[in-house]
Amino acid sequence: MGERLVVIGEITRPHGLRGELRVVPLTDDPERFEGLSDCVLWDASRDERETRRIITARRHGDVVLLGLAGCASPEGAETLRGRLVAVPEAAALPLAPGQFYPWQLEGAIVVTEDGREVGRFAGVEPSPGQDLWIVRAEGREHLIPAVPDIVAEVDVAARRVVIRPPEGLLDL
């Protein structure tokens, strides 16, 4: 496995006749594409990574149109459909104090306020109301709503999350 990547978009389809790509941004700052000189095209299912130079990047409604070196036709762009657009972890945008990226919590221990171990943080499942944190332990999976009433403390450095689950949440 290579270096950790941070996904910032997903290629959905070709755009136009010059090999541009329609990319759905998966970042809070879609303008960041315009400041990048290169990116990693990642086929996560096979963990195939290819670094490409970015020639053009511009917003187009809710998507970003990306022009990449070596991609000059709709047919060439079609071969990249479904790939993730990523940057190395070191190129992730800095966050304000108290904020964190979900990947920074992967593997963190999750405990209740009274010290009972619930499991390990495994990821995030987006949902309309709030994100749900996936916590796994011994063949079980818990979905913990990521809201202040339930998530009492997050310590990225110590890789520890303290939750205050309402009655019955961990029984689901």
Q: What is the CATH number of the domain that holds 123?
A: 2.30.30.240
What's the number of domains the chain is made of?
A: 2
Helices (H), the chain: 74-78
Residues 23 and 74 grouped into a single domain: yes
Residues 77 and 109 grouped into a single domain: no
The last residue of one of the domains, among 68, 91, 114, is 91
Residues 79 and 9 grouped into a single domain: yes
| Residue 13 buriedness (CB in 10 A; 0-12 / 13-18 / 19+) | middle
> In this structure, are residues 33 and 11 in contact, taking their beta carbons and an 8 Å threshold?
no
The last residue of one of the domains, among 43, 63, 91, is 91
Q: What is the CATH number of the domain that holds 42?
A: 2.40.30.60
Spatial distance between the Cα atoms of 120 and 110, rounded to a whole number of angstroms: 6
Residues 141 and 166 grouped into a single domain: yes
Q: Whole domain around residue 30: which residue ranges? A: 5-91
Residues 79 and 116 grouped into a single domain: no
> Is 38 inside any structural domain?
yes
Tens of pLDDT, residues 41-64:
999 888 899 999 999 999 999 999
Tens of pLDDT, residues 87-142:
998 888 887 787 888 878 989 999 999 999 999 999 888 788 888 999 999 889 99
Residues 83 and 110 grouped into a single domain: no
The last residue of one of the domains, among 91, 111, 138, is 91
Residues 110 and 74 grouped into a single domain: no
Residues 9 and 85 grouped into a single domain: yes
In the chain, pLDDT over 90 holds for what percent of residues?
68
pTM, 2 dp: 0.69
Residues 147 and 85 grouped into a single domain: no
> Is 97 inside any structural domain?
no
Q: How many CB atoms lie within 10 A of CB 119?
A: 19
